[in-house]
Structures are given as C-alpha cells and as structure tokens.
Structure 1
C-alpha cells in the first residue's frame, strides 16, 4: 500500500501537483487518468522521488506501507518501487545481459540462478516464447512492443513491491498491448501496479481503482465500475462519453 498525504510538487515557482492525498491499495491496478498535461506523469514520478532527479521539488509525505519514502535511500526506494517509461528502453546489450546485469548488481551471481531468474522474468512479461532461442541477440533488434516487455521483465528482476508504468502501451499495436495488459492482470497478486494512461478503454479493461485528475488535483477516486457507470465529475462524464 502507498499512502500519500498533502503532496505538492513542481519546478521552480511552477506548482504542478496541488495538495494531493490518496491511498493506493496493495495488489491492485490503480489507473491514473485525465487530460494531457493534468499532472499524471509528474505525480507518478513523485512515488519513487524521480521528480527530484529532474530538478523538481516536492512537499508532503508518501508512505510505502509504514515507511516514509524520505527515510529510504533512493537506491532502496527504486528497488522497491520500479518504473517503466513510455518510450521502451533496451540497453545496447544482448537480451540476456539486459536482465543479467540487473540481477548481478543485486547479488545474483550463480549461472544456474541467473538463468532461472532471467527465464522467470521473461515469462512473467510474456516475452520468453518469442526470444528463448535468441537470448544472445542484441536487444536493440527487438520490436517496440518487445522492448517494452523487456523493460517490464528487467524491472521485475529486483522483485519490486510496486511497479509504476507511464503510458506503457501508447505506441504499441494491439498484440503487444494485450500482452502487457494480461501481464499486469496476472501479476497483480504479487505486485502493486500504478499505471498512467490516456486510454480510458484500457483503464476500464484492467484497473481496479481509477484516479481521475485535472490541473494537478484529484477530481475523484473510485472503484472502476463506479467510475465508468456513474462518474461524479462533469469532466469525467464528458470524457467517458467519447471513449
């Protein structure tokens, strides 16, 4: 569970998130939705303090279970709270090494254990069957959708508690979108997922909780069916009408 209390953040004198409070339940998919520019991605980046790496500032408190994230080193925080970006990132190594270097960094060194973990993470991301005979191939040769699933597999290598995903399917075809959505649905009993998406239909398919934002504020937080059947804000009603 993540508990957010009175969170504000921004860059310089420009505040983007305004006094936001929210609880993100464990082992669910929480979808952050709203119009472009409303602060969804900025909010997501506060959850592992990445906003500070980009020169931003934040105030308020964020708790991972009972621990204030300010009391965790950034290395430990980002092990517990991983992130997958909108643009798929594949490092210029083999598919295998994209995962093994993360595992080795976190103490997995035995060949058999490395192979086991690489296979497990690729299977979780629904990529293993497509690449199992090409693990020595450069990851740069993968398609965009395969790179995105590789990024998810790499994030899962450190067994995070929470995985943040920023528009992970925005540039993908239906096949890869379905694979990623199925991955999240199958793994939510093991991990907590927070996904930013502009695609309301995607949120309707996979989310448990909907957080609807506008201009850096939360307009409503509700269970998925309640949001789509009876949204409380006029802006949400307008957007759902044009799904």
Structure 2
C-alpha cells in the first residue's frame, strides 16, 4: 500500500492507494498503525474501494480507497492485512444477559437521535453473534443479511453476508463488518432523508453443546433489543 493522504486537522488517514496481489473474494482489508515501540495506535474503521466492490478485485490491480484511521500522525509504520469477512473475536470479561447466545449490532460513531450524517459519509456497521455461555457450542447454519430500507420500509439495498455456523467457543463471537457508502443496490447515491439500516437473521436458531448430539432450540434476543437503527442523511 502507498500514497496515504492524511487530514492534518484530525490526524486521520482518509484515503490512499493499494496494490492488490491476490483475489479478495470473501475477504476484507484492515489497516493497523504502529508507533516506533511497536504499539498499535490506530485501526481502520473500514476500507472501501473508490472503484468497485472489494471482492471483485484480482491480483495485479492498483486501486484507490477510502478509510478512517485516527491518531495516524503518531504512527511510523502501517500493517495491511487481508482477513475473512467473518471474523472470530474474544468476549472474555464482558457480561451479557443469562441467555446462551446473543447478537450485538454496533452502529457508526455519532448515531444519536437528531444527529444527521453528512451526505456521502461512509458508515461502518458491525454485527456480532456471541456464545455467552460457559460451554463450547456448535451452531447450525445462520444466514445473515445487511439491508437498507427507506422510511416506507422499501428495500433499497440488501447484501448477503457469510453464513454463521460451526463450533463457537465459550465467550467468543463471530463478527461481521460492513461499510455503507450511502448508495442503493445499483450504485445510486441516496437522497437526504431517513433510512433504516440493520441486519436480518433468523431469531430462532438451533445449536448443540460441543460433544453432544442433542439439538437445542433457542430464540435470540438482540442485546439492547436492537438489530437496526434509523439513520438521517442531511
């Protein structure tokens, strides 16, 4: 990766150029900023190509991108990693409700009532499905979709995300990250207004405790009872 552009006022990397040397299908790019002592000072909230979908790129291409990495002025080096869209993260030390499986939707920073987003701003969303029990479990398939609806409930964009399934260790969770560029399914920039943005998945799931063949049915309740938010674009 090369040619970072840094916004001096907020000390953030906002864009750059990268050389893609392999297919990115089913992958996402993350960037980490390091101090001289090797400590991480910043991570990318998202990496979005200016040209087309990330997974449509193949080896040997050079493309520009948009990102957001704070405290970039403190960094002396950067690490660019290609990781699976579906990631596995630890939730050790975090407390949830007593239910064995919970979901968490994390909206973009600044998603407050009556706080509209500027037109064209890229919005990163995160979805987690967490095994909050003290035992390892094995999940049956759980399909997940990201969507954007208008204020009348009409779908403007849907994106199928990797299916969640298989073994999930105690107090670990699967994580999906997606950045919305305020465009619809055919690439049109959406007009200012109110939109509903969230994730769709079956609330009724099936899993088993690791090492057991007994199937357990469970109805998921999202943490804070939220799996979508209302976004206002000004």
TM-score by length of 2: 0.24
**Which is richer in strand?**
2
Q: Tell which structure's C-alpha radius of gyration is larger.
A: 2
**Which is richer in helix?**
1
TM-score by length of 1: 0.24
